[in-house]
Amino acid sequence: VCSRIVRLSACAGLSLFDGSGDPEQALTRSFAALQQAKAAGPGSLSTSGAGEIGASAAELRHESLIQRAFDHDRIDLDFQPILDIRRGIVGHYEALLRLRDEAGTPWSPPEFLPAAERSGLIQALDYRVLELAVTHLAAMDGAGREICIAVNLSGRHFGSPALLGKIH
């Protein structure tokens, strides 16, 4: 006899398929609907119509790009110096997220961040940005350089208890 109560929830993605057209496109739409439901949170249901396949396929490609970038360590930060004009020195650095595809081509955040936010991968990206920034700060501190770094985090993730717990 189990004395624990376990609460479960589910997300579902639904795409109607009447037997005509390409079954693979219907599966792609179903997967995209599932990702939308997951992004909406526990207990969500999302549907996808045939007219949404173009956006769904592009979004799936972006999600796949992000996941492969995680898997193959192709997520980096560039550090842009921010000049303190009054003092004429670099006041701090802004950490800019960079993601590269298999060919090493950098992708601009506006190209992949919307897909990351809709799919739920944004949380993992935010954590990766923080990890890379802290690693860089530690290396600079070890080298005797004191610097400040500003990072950009998702508005959807900012202020969440999970993020605050990770930072603290």
pLDDT band at 53 (very low <50, low <70, confident <90, very high): very low
Q: What is the CA radius of gyration of the chain?
A: 20
Q: Where does the chain have alpha helices with state H? A: 23-40, 53-71, 109-119, 122-142, 161-167
pLDDT per position as a tens digit, 63-120: 888 999 999 999 999 999 999 899 999 889 999 999 999 999 999 898 889 888 888 8
pLDDT tens readout for residues 7-41: 666 777 777 666 767 777 777 777 777 777 777 66
Task: Dump pLDDT digits (tens) for 116-144.
Answer: 888 888 889 999 999 999 999 999 887 77
Taking residue 118's Cβ as centre, other Cβ atoms within 10 Å add up to: 19
Contacts of 136 (CB under 8 A, 6+ apart): 77, 79, 95, 149
Contact at 8 Å (CB) between 56 and 113? no
Give phi and psi for 77, each to the nearest 5.
Answer: -120, 140
CA atoms within 13 A on the CB side of 86: 1
Q: What are phi and psi of 122, to 5 degrees?
A: -60, -35
